Amino acid sequence: MRRLAFLAVSLSAATCACAFDVVALVDSLDFAKRFDIETSTGTVQTLEHVLLSHANDIWWRDKGGGRMRYPSRCEMWQFSEAPFDKLRLSSEDIYGYLRLESPRGNEFPLVRAECARRGLGFGIHTTIEENHWYGPLASNWTLAHPEYWGCTRDGDPWMGCCSIMHPEVISHKLEMVDERLAMKPQKIMLDFWRNGAWSFAREYTAPAIAEWKRLYGGEPVPPASDPRWQKMVGAHFDAYLRAFSAKCRAAGVQFICGIPGVDEACGPIDGRIGGFDWRHLAQEGVLDAVYVMSVVYDAKDPFGSTERIYRSVMSNRGKAEVYFPVSAYNMQKCGFGEYAKLTGTTPAKAAGRLLRLAREVGARGVVLECVDYGNYSPEVCAAIKEALQ
């Protein structure tokens, strides 16, 4: 009887989560100053803190600080000649003492099980960058394959990202999709904001030059701002997204794209990201959902212009569901703190207003980016709870 009651409570919680999602993006590495995230106890402590935000859907990052947070076959952990080992150093600060090149375990099975036990949704937050592009955090796979590195129009190689124009790079990315699907998420969100400094200006590789010549003969290779160049390169991003979506669909997993910089016109996303038109993919059913990561609002009318953008997105979403941000982060000048500053209100009231706006326009939910330790204050968490009632 007790088991039946537990199941009823779990099903009820899952039903509520479906009505309106409050998604928490979680990068476990950001909790390393507080908890020992290399242990099961630390992972649960991280989740417990995240749930103070009233999130009912958890999208756990598959990498942190450029390091994969699971045993990946495709992206080996970064090697280090002098790793810090927290077993050999005594300090209250755990961060910096992790052996990041060799994590002790895979936190995803535990997170998935805890989410199921608590009636929460479970997804994976992944990024266009396989990991960070600079210096000591560069991808080992990228370092091992200079033949795939990006290249500028002047012919200078760039090791920050491998070129999307190489089929081998696409294959590598899709192998990593298989690894994520093996963790049995309900959703995978592919984040286009964290792009590892990718740009059209670094796609002047041999395959790209050859394709340009096939399309335009002897015409000189244009600057990266040329719409023809962006369309040509963007077609390869489009193909990658379709293949990503097909793998998710075959596994019964929802495929979501996180898109920054959306304006009222709702057109193609910022060209430096990929150049594809998300509306077409939504209309065709390639995207199960779109997460609008930031909007280009009018600073003189922040909430009014944001509402117009939200309604434009909803009218252009095709078959896709939509998530809007309630963000403590302000790197894109779209955090609720920025709205508060522009309108003379409090961050808590701004956060509550953004959540209510998302509900009013018919969104599937909101995304809290990112729920690091303490960055959603008790006042903001209370405002989120109130706006959900």
17-21, 116-120, 250-254: which has the minimum mean pLDDT? 17-21
**pLDDT reported for residue 176:** 93
Over residues 148-167, mean pLDDT: 92
102 pLDDT more than 50 = yes
Out of 57-66, 68-77, 89-98, 212-221, which region has the weakest mean confidence (pLDDT)? 89-98
Buried/exposed code over 89-106 (b: 16+ C-beta within 10 A; e: otherwise): eeeeebbebbebeebeee
Please name the helix (run of DSSP H) or strand (run of DSSP E) that holds residue 149, with its range, or none.
strand 149-151
| pLDDT tens for each residue of 330-353 | 988 899 999 999 999 999 999 999
Going by pLDDT thresholds of 50, 70 and 90, the confidence category of residue 199 is confident
Which pLDDT belongs to residue 211?
Answer: 98
* pLDDT of 256: 98
Domain ranges of the chain: 18-388
- pLDDT of amino acid 115: 98
pLDDT mean over 51-66: 90
What pLDDT does 12 receive? 37
Given the DSSP bridges, would you call strands 149-151 and 254-259 parallel, antiparallel or unpaired? unpaired
Stretch 75-79: mean pLDDT: 62
Report how far residue 310's alpha carbon sits from residue 332's, in angstroms, rounded to the nearest whole number: 17
pLDDT at 6 > cutoff 70: no
- DSSP letters of 318-366? TT-EEEEE--S--TTS-SHHHHHHHHT--HHHHHHHHHHHHHHTT-SEE
Percent of the chain surpassing pLDDT 70: 83
- The pLDDT assigned to 16 comes to 39
Scored b (16 or more CB within 10 A) or e, 353-370 reads bbbebbeebebbbbbbbb
Res 203 pLDDT > 70:
yes
Q: What percent of the chain has pLDDT over 90?
A: 65
β-bridge mates for residue 63, sequence order: 68
Locate 214 and state its tokens: 């096939």
Does residue 381 have a pLDDT over 90?
yes
pLDDT-based confidence at 114, cuts 50/70/90? Answer: very high
Q: How confident is the model at residue 8 (pLDDT cuts 50, 70, 90)?
A: very low
Q: How far is CA 126 from CA 27, 55, 84, 130, 326, in A?
A: 10, 19, 26, 8, 19
The mean per-residue pLDDT over the stretch 218-232 comes to 94
* Residue linked to tokens 């930031």: 294
Higher pLDDT, 33 or 147: 147
Render pLDDT for 231-290 as a digit per residue (tens, 0 to 9).
Answer: 999 999 999 999 999 999 999 999 999 999 999 888 766 655 677 788 989 999 999 999
What is the DSSP secondary structure assignment for residue 386, as one 8-state letter?
H
- What's the CATH code, domain 18-388? 3.20.20.80
| Residue 10 near residue 44, CB atoms below 8 Å | no
Report helix, strand or coil for 282. helix
Average pLDDT rounded to a whole number, residues 35-54: 92
Closest CA relative to residue 320, chosen from 259, 251, 385 = 259
